[in-house]
Amino acid sequence: MGLEIKIPAVGESITEVTIAKWLKKDGEAVKRDEIIAELESDKATFELPAEADGTLSIQVAEGETIGIGTTIAEIGGADAPAADATPDATKSAATPAAAPSNDPISKGEENPAASDQAGYGGTPEDSATSDAAPAEAPSSGGTIEMKIPTVGESITEVTVSKWLKPDGAQVDRDEVIAELESDKATFELPAEAAGTLRHAVGEGETIAIGTVVARIEGGGSGASAALAAAPASAQAAPTPSQPAANAGTTSYATGTPSPAAGKILGEKGINAADVQGSGRDGRITKEDAQNAQAKPAAPAPQAAPAPAAPAPAAAEATTGNRNSRRERMSNLRKTVARRLVSVKNETAMLTTFNEVNMQPIMDLRNKFKDKFKEKHSVGLGFMSFFTKAVCVALKEWPAVNAQIDGGDIVYNDFCDISIAVSAPKGLVVPVIRNAEELSFDGIEKEIVRLAGLARDNKLTIEQMTGGTFTITNGGVFGSMMSTPIINAPQSAILGMHNIIQRPVAENGQVVVRPMMYLALSYDHRIIDGRESVSFLVRVKELLEDPTRLLLGV
């Protein structure tokens, strides 16, 4: 058995990642510390280095989402295949004794060769012609305790939200049997071996990490059952894959969906036996499940005869394209959704509005933008004016720059301004550190740098955490007015909007000016109305007379 490559812990709140891209192919020789894959979480992209020299054996397909600590590949040396291909009596006998001392994941992987033979030979009752089957029965006929794995540093308990397999059901290795929920995310629980599932905890119960949630008895897997019934005419569908199985070219993974694929098939109501797997050893990948969208069309006519009369009328009354598609939410979108709901539920959020005459800033930009770009090699935009104005106002109204931590209020003497950026995979909020100390060109250069990293999906977690105040600009998309949601744990966020030529009164005269609405959403638990309104009025004053920013008045 080669060296297992597992998904490392990449952040306190990150519980799963997606295999974005394999940089090395299956069976390819790799060197220690050579980058073999790119991983994506809901916050950033990571590189996965090889932990040793050897031959790479990929176990998880590109595009699949898996939990922290999951084995995704093995690196074997020159003698690794020979060791795995020796199912002698000594190795088989050692397997049950060695398994209890290891973690639950390794129990089913102690001897890959024995695992494959158990899948081919089946249980002792199914064995009729193979002399090896009784010898392998002890290694697959024991009981494996499945415990709740560690899913995050700060998560101490989970709830069994739903059993996907009933008590007493036959399950295959890596088949998703339950969904677990914590206070931060939902997780899938895969079976650690093939056999009979026995529930140890009821649906809806909340249990601690490390608690036994189920037991898997015996070694009868879906693969062995299919082999036993292969001669029967009713099992015609699996038959083409059986000769390859008997030849030793498949494993427990054959015909088994990955966790992501299993969930997609379950949502579509498609039986895994009706899907041809294209992954390693015949595993059903996420792409296979998505491409199987047309399969449910066959059962539909069987259910139609009951309401026979209304069905044709409804079909005739509807014309045009009626297609729909289902896509799994990305990790980034799940995190954004969870945090937005949390902010709405846990803060006393309120929004105050004002408007700004943008003519002075536009005149200043038109006058100096060419010289500014020539000297600093960066354009002069509106964001640097807003950032400077916000930093001045935050110094005067420190509660807007503060945050609640338990029973305390943390006041910040610095201004780390978060700038909302629309990246290809969703909204990200990189942070400009100590923005109060930067000049106009320094702010513009930092915005260009962070926006470039966001577009290339190269922002790190450190670059997106720790801000004290957020600025978001919906005006670039045409928004005239909005109520932005606070970026927790911050206490306020400023929303910019589009610039519209509107009539306003100046010195008793009606004139047309480029006007922008500003919105300040704030947590009323820490920021009073006087502070929020005064803060926004101060920002308005600084923007309508930019010389105040230079003179500090």
Report the catalytic residues. Answer: 524, 528
As a whole number of angstroms, the distance between CA 105 and CA 252 comes to: 15
- Residue for token pair 């930092």: 446
Tokens of 286: 């996420």
Distance CA 215, CA 221 (A): 15
Rounded Cα distance, 106 and 192, in Å: 9
Q: Is the torsion defined by CA of 94, 99, 102, 108 positive or negative?
A: positive
Contact 114, 95 (CB under 8 A): yes
Q: Give the separation between CA 117 and CA 140, rounded to whole angstroms.
A: 10
The one-letter amino acid code at 34 reads: E
* Mutual angle of helices 529-544 and 359-376, in 10-degree steps: 70
CA 460 to chain CA mean position, Å: 15
Helix (H) or strand (E) holding 462: none
CA distances from 316 to 297, 313, 332 (A): 18, 5, 41
How far apart are alpha carbons 81 and 330 in whole angstroms? 37
Distance between CA atoms of residues 488 and 546, nearest Å? 30
Residue 282, SS3?
Answer: helix
Question: Which amino acid does the sequence have at 437?
Answer: E
Q: Token digits for 214? A: 């189920």
Task: For the beta carbon of residue 251, count every other beta carbon within 10 angstroms.
Answer: 20
Question: Using CA of residue 170, residue 174, residue 175, residue 176, what is the dihedral sign?
Answer: positive
The residue assigned the tokens 């054996």 is: 57
Rounded CA separation 438/147 (Å): 52
Name the residue type at position 194: A
Beta bridge partners of 216: 144, 197
Separation CA 187–CA 467 (nearest Å): 29
342 Cβ contact partners less than 8 Å away, ≥ 6 residues apart: 488
Q: Report the residue count for the chain.
A: 553
* Helices (H) then strands (E): counts for the chain: 17, 27
Q: Which of 397, 446, 407, 454 is nearest to 429 (CA)?
A: 454
